[in-house]
Amino acid sequence: MPTATLTSKGQITLPIEVRRGLGLRQGSRVDFVQDGQGFRLQVRSRLASELAGALPKPERPVSLDEMDQAIAVGAFKSVQP
């Protein structure tokens, strides 16, 4: 069973087998969830790099000018009564 030691600053280093098992990398975020047995570690979110390819590609490329125009139109609509 993997173990870790608490430092004087309240920090621990998760053993490599735990990090690998949870798919954790530098920058990963975790939550400590209290349940009837104590606390459990829950992976909170994914890294942005892991989300690559999650959305379908657009039907056609959009230029920066088109993006700027869409943002301006959305901003204008958001302040209209």
Q: Tens of pLDDT along 31-63?
A: 999 999 999 989 887 667 777 787 888 889 999
C-alpha span between 51 and 40 (Å, rounded): 25
- The three-class DSSP label of residue 6 is coil
Full-prediction pTM beyond 0.85? no
Asked whether the predicted pLDDT for residue 3 surpasses 70, the reply is yes
- Our CA angle for 64, 68, 69, nearest 5°, is 115
pLDDT range class, residue 1, cuts 50, 70, 90: confident
Among 4-8, 25-29, 43-47, the range of highest mean pLDDT: 4-8
What region, left, alpha or beta, does residue 79 occupy, with left being phi > 0 and alpha being psi -120 to 50 degrees? alpha
